[in-house]
Amino acid sequence: MKAERRAEAQWEGNLINGQGKLHLGSGAIGELSVTWASRTERSDGKTSPEELIAAAYASCYAMAFSHTLTQEGYPPQSLTVNAVCTLEQVEGAFKITTMTLNVQGKVPGLDEDRFVQIAQKAEKGCPVSNLLRQGLQIYLNAHLEV
């Protein structure tokens, strides 16, 4: 099985004063606006590459964790994954430095320690985790809701 997904970005002007538009090939969401200010200062209703990476990671990890829990015999009732992607200036250049995943879940029959263990196993199997791990520090915080 092989799946390809596409996105297109258009940019007008210079970095600081310019602006861009993003289009997802699926058409799942409308046109997204992006600016340097939305990336480094305030979003003002626009997105950034870091926000899009965080969205991709949160959704991928939620799927991976759900699958891993089910394989371990604990199908989840619900999972909520929040991803935070950090862009910083390091040695005079901008770099995505960290990604933090905060996950909460309702999983009948599971205790907190086992939830955390399975969360860590799922992180190792998540395709986006495996891509990002090559150049990024990843933090995982998992909490079971009762």
CATH number assigned to the domain comprising residue 75: 3.30.300.20
pLDDT at 135 over 90: no
pLDDT band at 134 (very low <50, low <70, confident <90, very high): confident
Among 17-21, 135-139, 141-145, the least confident range: 135-139
Q: Is the residue at 21 inside a domain?
A: yes
Same domain, 19 and 64: no
Structural domain that includes position 35: 7-40
Surface-to-core class of residue 128, CB atoms within 10 Å of its CB (0-12 exposed, 13-18 middle, 19+ buried): buried
Tens digit of pLDDT for each residue in 10-67?
999 999 999 999 999 999 999 999 999 999 999 999 999 999 999 999 999 999 999 9
Tens digit of pLDDT for each residue in 93-128?
999 999 999 999 999 999 999 999 999 999 999 999
Q: Is the residue at 123 inside a domain?
A: yes
For all residues of the chain together, what is the average pLDDT? 94
Domain tally for the chain?
2
Q: Is the residue at 2 inside a domain?
A: no
Same domain, 106 and 62: yes
pLDDT at 28: 94
Same domain, 57 and 36: no
Same domain, 22 and 80: no
Rg (CA), the chain: 17
What pTM value is reported for the model? 0.90
What six digits make up the tokens of 115? Answer: 């939830």
Residue predicted with more confidence, 1 or 63: 63
